[in-house]
Structure 1
Amino acid sequence: MDNSTLLVLGPNAWVLLAVLLVLAAVLWRTALGRPPLQMLVAGVRALLQLAAVALVIAWLADRGAWAFAFVALMFVVGVWTSGHRVAPEGRWWVAAIPLAAGVIPVAALMFAAGVLPFSALAIIAVMGQQIGGAMSTVTLSGRRIRDELVLRRGEVEAAVALGFQWPAARLMVGRGVAGEAVLPSVDQTRTAGLVTLPGAFVGMILGGAAPLDAGLIQLLVLISLLVVNATAATATLWLSCRGAWVAAGRLNGAFPACRRFPGL
């Protein structure tokens, strides 16, 4: 095997990719009752996007300033993706708030400490992971809080009847589930090196980096993601408890059961 790659690449790899994608689509449809086209489109998009991104990153290698433009594109796509998952017919653009709240302060700290250099490859790699983590957290926490508020609407109304304001009443219900979106990051950090070997760590080892240096870099990434995701979940909870996702006059759209909450 070529020691520059983790897996053996060649024609068999492409055949296996197609088989795995079709298998995933079949399971998505037969076991989970979801449209198989979603899975197929996701796989094809990933192929095309990774190919395009590889070319863009190669072009940006010595153009540090342009890296921020590419990161901005990542951010916009992340807002669009998570926003439409949480509020498909509501104020989906509100997702920009928790994403920015999670990513910008942590990235600023890394720049200020001199840990993250003004290198295109470093900026795209690190901030891309942070945006991706925040995007997943906003999606999971936003949907989970939304569903919990609908399921336990009686508790919210009871709290309001006792004198609580609507945001405070929703907070008592939503707070317990908001943090669940951060648990995958916590588990990934706890089990790093035991259950999984993060991709950046393996890539640096294959690239010839010293094991301790690779470990420290990966640790910085993992811990930064904990802060990013925890902040994104907190901001999502705050916005959800104040009805920020719901467009005025469209309470029956993105959040169908929100019409039951007069204060939303």
Structure 2
Amino acid sequence: MAVITINLPLAKKMLPPRKASSKKGDNGTVLVAGGSRFYHGAPVLASMAALRSGTDLVYTAVPRSIVTEVRSFSPALIALPLPDDKLTVGSANRLTAMLPKKPDAAAIGMGMTVAGPESIMSLARKLKEQGTKILLDASALLPEVLPEISNTGAVVTPHAGEYKRLFGEDAGKTEKERIANVQAMAKKHDITILLKGQVDVVSDGKKTGVNRTHNCAMTVGGTGDVLAGITAGLMCKVPAFEAALLAAYFNGLAGNLAFKRVGLHMASTDLLKDLPAAMKHFDTIAK
């Protein structure tokens, strides 16, 4: 299987134009479900990244205990309060019932405390039944959930440690090993895998790509949450493989712009600030 490297010309081909006549909702609605009593920032970063990626609406579902902190970050966030600090089956049911409209894509797990695998499975099942594309990150990367997301256009975004927890084996030490292992697991489970690292590896089992656009300041916490948000936003517009590969590239471009501006003193919010500049050169409008 040939492995492609994402670059500027390829990204321009993959990203579709926006219709000049489009109205609110035509460019995607995203649900971000995450957060906990200790981690309110992760779902905020993912939600703002989804908005900055060009999504029209983002609903941010977080525990009631942190909903005020989440709302205070930006008036652009539509925060939905969940009754429990942990994601339970009950709060998953509550969430799907309170959604104002069906999201095109959902990013689940950033900063989340999970009561058990069945809560993620329940939420994934309900979203899948209504046609929402699913992205799982962080705490939602549990092996029990894999059967629920197979053959649904779903994306998982693990780092090496999360990859081992999810699939039960190491991602590999060399780039060649990581590519081969990601390809095999993506094909086995019929999902798209975005394995984060110095070189991001993306595969849906049929196509494989790598992203080398990074810098060493991006080890700061929260850059993966931004990546998840960009990916979910793009999943509203393009197939899962293209969304994941483009997101890795744009996340890296934003990181490089932030590095030029602040050097090794980068925070993940710097990526949010520079993401529009990273993506605007790819903007096209169709009549």
**TM-score scaled to structure 1, two decimals?**
0.27
Going by fraction, where is strand more abundant, 1 or 2?
2
**TM-score scaled to structure 2, two decimals?**
0.25
